[in-house]
Structure 1
Amino acid sequence: MSNANSRPARCLITGASGFIGTRLCERMDAQGGQAYVAMARSAAGSQPGRSSVQADLLVPGDAARALAGCDAVIHLAHGGRGPEATRRLVEAAVAQKVRRFVHISTMSVHGPRPGIEAAREETARIGRYDEGYSDSKAEQEEIVQAAIDKGDLAAVILRPTVVYGLGGHFERQVLQQAKAGEVTLFDDGRGVCNAVFVDDVCDAIEAALLSDAAVGQAMFINADRSISWGEFIRGFAALVEPPPRIVSLSAAAVETWWAEHPPEPVGGLATRVLRKLKHLAGVRPPVSPWPPLGRVRRETFPITFANDKAKRLLGWSPRVDFEQGLALTADWLRARGELAR
């Protein structure tokens, strides 16, 4: 399945300064064995002591320049013009005949409220949901898949679920609320949380660089056991002293408010200019008394994603359950002075 002799000589990592990218580079530095180049859009994103290249995928020629000397790509970067950036990177990778392209997609390509058919890759479908992040990531995955289908790119597509641990967005959101004294959840936290520890995602990425069986395939990267959002939120909130107040909100009430006050679409340049003109004229959207719609949808998620395809094709298995991930993250935060010892 995996061939250590097929390890890429040098790998370009886009999004290397992001949450998953930073952890992936840390692990590669500690373990050795895989040479890489960390791509940053600006000098501020470069990390001392690491082989890096400053490039912007939206600038013509930058993708090819960043790929110089690399025979593999791990594509983690995502921005406001993600599909255009991904298209340029794929074109450069095809032109330079890279041996492996690992594209980090997301479970969100199946929308904020997928049906039971999305639980397994064989029946899951990618669509458009009028939701900026989901739609952008769906288009990016389709660009990679099109290159696979044409036989131009030896790519593996990974769809991580809710990635947490060691500084992830999801636990930081809970900790920020907890430190302010009050943490909210929806419907007593009964929604499904497909939480996967960041190191397990990094393991899957590294396995995708080597597995020939996974080429041309897309797969979920998830823990063996999903938990509830109540478990996730209460677990991280309990790390804060003094203990915060836990408040359960009605998901139906939140969704009703947002249905009556829909958020403005992100839109293109014309939409952004119009929004700016409204702002200058003193026109403000109503201030929501509720959390963002995206959060309520995420935390009332209805299904658990399977991970057996990734296990079979990558020779991978998650090693960190939620209790372990919570403890590892607590130690990590305390070592940085972000939690009381």
Structure 2
Amino acid sequence: MPTLVSRPSRCLITGAAGFIGSRLRQHFDQAEHSYVAMLRSAAAAARLQAQGSQTVVADLLQAAAVTEALQGCDAVVHLAHGDRGPEATRRLVDAAVAQKVRRFVHISTMSVHGPRPGAEAAREDTARIGRYGEGYSDSKAEQEEIVQAAINRGDLHAVILRPTVVYGLGGHFERQVIRQAQAGEVTLFDEGRGVCNVVFVDDVCDAIEAALVSDAALGQAMFINADRPVSWGEFIRGFASMVEPAPRFVSLSSADAEAYWAAHPPEPVGGLPTRLFRKLRRLAGWRSPVAPWPPLGRVQRETFPITFANEKAKRLLDWSPRVDFAQGLRLSRDWLCAEGVLPR
């Protein structure tokens, strides 16, 4: 069992208005943990303040603002991700080092191992971070490397968590399925046989809380995943079945979709000049042609080949996932009904 240190007295949460960040704030509120929610938008900060959260408005790209936001905080949970993620993470790490924070929990992702990892990526001791020409995964890989470099220099007391597909209580992936189902037709690839490494959002929050106090986890990176994967067919049908009338299911060929994207590669994400150029083109009336297949990222995600282990997180964090997929579906349905996304 890991050695537990005293809990940090006050935690700065970046990305506090996002999907995981919003749920983490609720966890902290219930446990009466002190935190500051860091946001870029004054309007978003005002909404959280009305809910009782302490907030600070700051841009991670502005060093002075980050330093000021960290005042009085001895821990950081870094959830935020944006177009300039590596630069933002570097500034946050530098400020945390200068502030001598006691604990820095960096939320990475399984995507740092690419869209089609081999069997070696199933466990942390053999998994390798790389670059795969995909904007999100490459950015998150660079951010993780920035944190790891600070750990290796002895500058930062940090833990790196790599959640898998986080779902539940309004997550992006189930909302995508529900929107399709409400439109009447739901697509899946190869009958939904791909591996779906899903973990319920509350289990991710539990892992973050454990990472704030576990000495055994310091300097380590680990997957945060459920005990048992499901197939993408199970995931898609589970959420689509919540919609009435029942939608039609259509199985697509991943081989045909990948052949199309190989012949028509999606435009790279690019930097700021590229994004400005695209915006000007759109303002001038240019529209990209509508592809006959779902995006390549979805094809790769839903034909995933491996299952990620969670033994390291269990051992070092003294953590275990509490919500299996059947429970996650029930909790999600209750939440979606309460929010008016589905009828009661």
TM class, shorter-length: over 0.9
Is the 2:85–2:139 contact (alpha carbons within 8 Å) kept by the matching residues of 1?
yes
**Which residue in the other structure is 2:114 paired with?**
111
Aligned positions of 1:49-60 closer than 5 A: 49-60=52-63
Query: Could you report, residue by residue, the CA deviation over 1:38-78 in whole angstroms, capped at 9, with x for unpaired residues?
Result: 11111122202111111111113111111000000000000
Distance 1:318 1:172 in 2: 22
**Which residue in the other structure is 2:17 paired with?**
17
Is the 1:113–1:302 contact (alpha carbons within 8 Å) kept by the matching residues of 2?
yes
**Which residue in the other structure is 1:86 paired with?**
89
**Which residue in the other structure is 1:42 paired with?**
41
Identity across the alignment (%): 76
Is the 2:2–2:315 contact (alpha carbons within 8 Å) kept by the matching residues of 1?
no
Distance 2:11 2:54 in 1: 11
Distance 2:311 2:62 in 1: 39
Once the 2 structures are TM-superposed, how far is the Cα of residue 280 of structure 1 from its aligned partner? 4.8
Shift in CA distance, 5/264, structure 1 to aligned 2, threshold 3 Å:
closer
Of 136, 153, 158 in structure 1, the residue corresponding to residue 139 of structure 2 is 136
Is 1:184 aligned to residue 187 of structure 2? Answer: yes
Distance 1:50 1:57 in 2: 20
Letter in 2 for 1:253: D
Distance 1:241 1:270 in 2: 45
**Which residue in the other structure is 2:319 paired with?**
316
Aligned positions of 1:269-308 closer than 5 A: 269-280=272-283, 282-308=285-311
Is the 2:167–2:198 contact (alpha carbons within 8 Å) kept by the matching residues of 1?
yes
Distance 1:195 1:315 in 2: 20
Aligned positions of 1:1-341 closer than 5 A: 1-2=1-2, 6-32=6-32, 34-46=33-45, 47=48, 48=50, 49-280=52-283, 282-341=285-344
Letter in 2 for 1:31: A
Out of 151-160 and 266-275, give the one that drifted further: 266-275
Query: Could you report, residue by residue, the CA deviation over 1:115-137 in whole angstroms, capped at 9, with x for unpaired residues?
Result: 11100000000000000000000
Length, aligned pairs only: 340
Is the 1:2–1:207 contact (alpha carbons within 8 Å) kept by the matching residues of 2?
no
Distance 1:36 1:274 in 2: 40
Let me know the Cα RMSD of the aligned residues. Answer: 1.2
Structure 2 unaligned spans of 5+: none
Is the 1:10–1:72 contact (alpha carbons within 8 Å) kept by the matching residues of 2?
yes
Structure 1 unaligned spans of 5+: none
Is the 1:241–1:340 contact (alpha carbons within 8 Å) kept by the matching residues of 2?
no
Once the 2 structures are TM-superposed, how far is the Cα of residue 327 of structure 1 from its aligned partner? 0.4
Is the 1:4–1:210 contact (alpha carbons within 8 Å) kept by the matching residues of 2?
yes
Query: Could you report, residue by residue, the CA deviation over 1:212-256 in whole angstroms, capped at 9, with x for unpaired residues?
Result: 000000000000000000000000000001010011000111111
Distance 1:273 1:103 in 2: 30
Instruction: Give SS of 1:210's match.
Output: coil
Instruction: Give SS of 1:78's match.
Output: coil
Is the 2:14–2:80 contact (alpha carbons within 8 Å) kept by the matching residues of 1?
yes
Distance 2:230 2:283 in 1: 45
Shift in CA distance, 186/99, structure 1 to aligned 2, threshold 3 Å:
same
Distance 2:96 2:107 in 1: 15
Instruction: Give SS of 2:216's match.
Output: coil
Query: Could you report, residue by residue, the CA deviation over 1:73-125 in whole angstroms, capped at 9, with x for unpaired residues?
Result: 00000000000000000000000100000000000000111111100000000
Is the 2:5–2:215 contact (alpha carbons within 8 Å) kept by the matching residues of 1?
no
Once the 2 structures are TM-superposed, how far is the Cα of residue 277 of structure 1 from its aligned partner? 4.4
State the TM-score, normalizing by the size of structure 2: 0.96
Once the 2 structures are TM-superposed, how far is the Cα of residue 305 of structure 1 from its aligned partner? 0.1
